[in-house]
A and B are shown apart, each in its own frame.
Chain A
Amino acid sequence: MAMKFRTMKRHFREGAKNIWRNSWMTIASVGAVTTTLVLVGAFLALMLNLSHIAGNLEEDVEIKAFVDLTAEQAEIDAIGAEIEEISEVSLVEFSTKEEELEGLIESMGDEGQVWELYEQDNPLSHAYIVKTTDPLDTVSVASQIEAIENVEKVNYGQDVVQNLFTFNNYARNIGLVLIIGLVFTAIFLISNTIKITIMARRKEIEIMKLVGATNGFIRWPFFVEGLLLGVLGSIIPIAAIVTGYYYLSNNVSSLTQFEFVELLSFNPFAWQLSLLILAIGASIGVWGSVMSVRKFLKV
């Protein structure tokens, strides 16, 4: 549909004017948008950060494949080659038994000195340290590696990892369900508010139609109005989230004893989240407004 530019301009002007003309509707709708977006925003920030932290933990998961003590150098190399063959593997590193011992001594701290006795006669094995592209493949890759000849055993913190993955999986799914639920509640609440207020404008729509306005001509200002309502409704949530997140991301390390708790960095996360909230607000506003006006157009 080719619309004249001046008609488009008129629709934007008219939509903006309607924000003033229907001040009560504006306040009610913007209030509904604001309330729900604050909830959606806070919850999104929480979920995305939890997922980020869980992801960090998963990233740390690695498989250690110990080489049989009796293996010759050629056989050791063969193991490495075979591990690299596995398509889910992203990184293979070889660690000699001397390096292994060093690592052990270091991790033990003071008690580690006892192990220094073994430096002459190292009882440890050479090892391959393997990472997978997707941490979730860890278990299956580990069992593939275990099957390779001359691999004595594999270690990836079996119990912990399995629990971590299960927990993360639950957390993500529940979070997703909650967010979807929240967004739908928001859509329902907001479009209902808008619908009620547009009902009051049913007569106006009828008059416009009697004066010869097409459906599109009536719908456009409503579209603009909904868009503006959504955008107005996202101002407070965005301000709240940016401020709140700024404070939180600066103070989280001192608030918790856990080093691994590292939030998504303020920049760009807070801005991305703001944009998302703006987009959600705008689309909900437009949707609610256009859907509500649709019913009254058949005059």
Chain B
Amino acid sequence: MIDMQGVYKTYPNGVIAINGIDVTIEQGEFVYIVGPSGAGKSTFIKLIFREEKPTKGSITVNGKDVLKLKWKQIPYLRRDIGVVYQDFKLLPKMTVYENVAFALEVIGETPKTIRKRVMEVLDLVGLKNKARFIPDELSGGEQQRISIARAIVNYPKLLIADEPTGNLDPDTSWEIMRILEEINAGGTTVIMATHSKEIVNTIKKRVIAIEDGLIARDQHRGEYGYEV
């Protein structure tokens, strides 16, 4: 599913965020990315769907050589990948409904399918009753759940979530984890960056620890491994 070889990323301002990573993630896996703040987790994630381009190395996602993609092909790579952003990235002037529907309009779904599917996922994240709100009218946790709804609405092959429980109360966090596990059970690969020791130690999955831009640890059914 994902294969990275000798990947480096230096930002234009000179910060070395990823400093030589080799990793393979198979289809259907559930992977936690852990590590201290500023370690390079978000950068690692952004490299997968080409929000950032590596300075060096090769990345294959879903059989596509991410570096060889032309500008025109990038949207198609992204359509197979659902992303929950650390900063949500919701469209501020669109309603909750429109934000989620956008991911389906992009792939040309019929209005009927869109309506049905959007209401389905909004129900799943518990925000059906806020469909007509705009993001500014929602709490941080609610915005995060919209971001999750948008990421899963088109049944992506790969779901990437950058701290999807970062702004949520424990109850909602477990609810979100249940949704992610369910999606994973359906065959979708899930990659999730998190700072939650509790979640990682309770729902045991593969753990990749990134420190100073390097993979410090890669364990199946691993522990969080950091003191909180």
Q: Which residues of A contact B (CB under 8 A)?
A: 4, 6-7, 10, 18, 21-22, 203-204, 207-215, 217, 298-299
Contact = CB atoms under 8 A, between A and B. Distances in A.
A203 B93 CA distance: 11
A207 B78 contact: no
- Main SS class of interface, A: helix
Given A22-B93, A210-B78, A211-B150, A10 B83 contact: no
A214 to B, nearest CB: 5
B93 to A, nearest CB: 4
Interface string B60-80: 000000000001101110110
Contacts, number: 54
Contact of A6 (B49, B83, B92, B111): B111
Q: Which interface class (under 10, 10 to 19, 20 to 34, 35 or more) fits B?
A: 20 to 34
Nearest to B107: A212
A207 to B, nearest CB: 5
A203 B76 CA distance: 20
A295 to B, nearest CB: 14
B103 A211 contact: yes
Contacts of A10: 105
Given A204-B91, A204-B93, A207-B90, A212 B108 contact: no
Nearest to B154: A212
B93 A213 contact: no
A214 B79 CA distance: 10
A214 B102 contact: no
A210 B91 CA distance: 11
Nearest to B151: A211
B15 interface: no
Residue from B102, B103, B110 with most neighbouring chain A CB atoms (10 Å): B102
Nearest to A7: B108
A20 to B, nearest CB: 9
Nearest to A204: B91
Nearest to B49: A210
A4 B94 CA distance: 23
Contacts of B228: none
A213 B105 CA distance: 9
Nearest to B88: A207
A210 B51 contact: yes
Nearest to A22: B93
Contacts of B103: 211-212
A218 to B, nearest CB: 9
Contacts of B108: 4, 6-7
A212 B92 contact: no
Given A4-B108, A6-B111, A213 B92 contact: no
21 contacts: A7-B108, A10-B105, A18-B93, A207-B91, A208-B91, A209-B75, A209-B78, A210-B51, A210-B83, A211-B103, A212-B75, A212-B76, A212-B106, A212-B107, A213-B75, A213-B102, A213-B106, A214-B72, A214-B75, A214-B106, A215-B72
B89 A217 contact: no
Contact of A212 (B79, B90, B93): B79
B149 to A, nearest CB: 12
A204 B71 contact: no
Nearest to B90: A207
Interface string B32-64: 000000000000000001010000000000000
